[in-house]
Structure 1
């Protein structure tokens, strides 16, 4: 039995257990979204595009970093959510923003920052990844929403012309990477000339169709980090020159772990140790902070920027639905009371980040008041 068949069986029984467990506290409650208002846009010098692309982000923090209790001020949030925009001609702008209707105390009180026990496997233990093969899977939802980034990372389709990815895939905290000036997004597509021969074990590989990026947007919270890279703002939005014709994933505010089906997250990416192959994985949430999701999903360089999704119960639809709740960032060593522990980390979509990303996509806050 192939690994893909095993995966299908596992997911079948997982879904069956979820369908019979809708009475638990897994109902996803809609969040009140703050108003994200750009105030002023100023021109900046053209970037040098001199940084080296990083396929993997590795950081270190102590217990205060992981379980921080200090509330950021509103001015700090405004500064971090201001953003740079880079266009294909190399011009760069900075947009200063204002935030209305935001209650930081209410936000933090809704997040479960209780420390959980370490469980399942070590990050570098038995490999729990699944290769996704064949156009039946690769060219259909949800796997068809995963795309390649020309700098070597992964991205997720979040509208008919927007791709969400990790900020470090295009900016190293000091400057934009060399490949960001002519950034492209790769779509897996069928090879019309390929034929399955009698001796073939697997179906023919799919082609990659590349599409040019019109502009990129990066929060200043990432750019401000400089060498002390902070994963909290490791996300960026790419706008394509032309719309695509594929389904996309909807983004939403990440609920508490208890409201996520099976306490599991999922994501697919183009891991560098399996060239040309789309790799899928799922695993439990182990720890969470107001801005990050800590887990032990097996991942390798190249999967950075993958859209992390969860299944949420929607009462109005009487069904589970996949929603993007985070962006896979990389690996972090955490010092917990003098003991080093390692995690893979995803940036969680908070109400403020949702308001910002939604504004980038739709161009108005009026269409972004609920998730």
Structure 2
């Protein structure tokens, strides 16, 4: 029997509302994509949108604007999908209903190492950001999980959130301490820190694809065993799942997705919290369906936030990290009140 799957799950039972939710999500995703291509500092009409997408011989200003927005839109979809799946994995591994890369301190850990790279190693490209951000994300995740696991009861939801909050506060102070005497670093970092998909281009997408692919494959491969883990470690062990190995691999996938997204787009919070919660409410807890739908929902939410930021900040734009924080903070408060820190 596989250490990461449950052989007894031979029949794949499709959740009752899955098809309806998936069809509606795909339609909404299409609307979001069109909105992302049409709206911005310059709004384009339907004819210009069609020319930009399907008539390369047309070289009007509106059509060229649409073509320039294609890479940003694809990048936004990829970032949202990665954060949605990362949140689903972290919530499942920790059995914590409010786990999220930003809440557990992974984002700020990645940010700290990017600041270190900018300050002491003079990095300035996305390809360099990725590796520094990944190292910071993994070290922070290990530290938070280690602190949260101390004492009786192991890694309870409350201890993990408190450990993440304390770690985030400490690392945020360290980021500020490094930047204050270095004005050039502060100027370079402050635009990245807010969290934005505006810098997304084809180079960023090509860098993102291999990491996103690995993270998604890990998530899908571990989903059946994570379903067993939700029943408790003893039950999962009875099904033949090696819980320690499972947590290690699934956590690696979640942190990988979060770290790469943070490196390329900055620390964008709350997507990993909102997407899995919404999907669980709609179709239930089966991670074989929650994970792919979290990717779809995360892409939708982040793209909506990006378009909203452009409209609200017109003629400039409001960074997507600000919009997601504005939406996500009150929802986090409500979820915390309802969950009462219960495990999944």
TM-score interval (norm. to shorter): under 0.3
Q: Which has the higher contact order (CA 8 A, sep 6+)?
A: 2
The TM-score, its normalising length taken from structure 2, stands at 0.28
Larger strand proportion of the pair: 1
The TM-score, its normalising length taken from structure 1, stands at 0.26
Larger helix proportion of the pair: 2
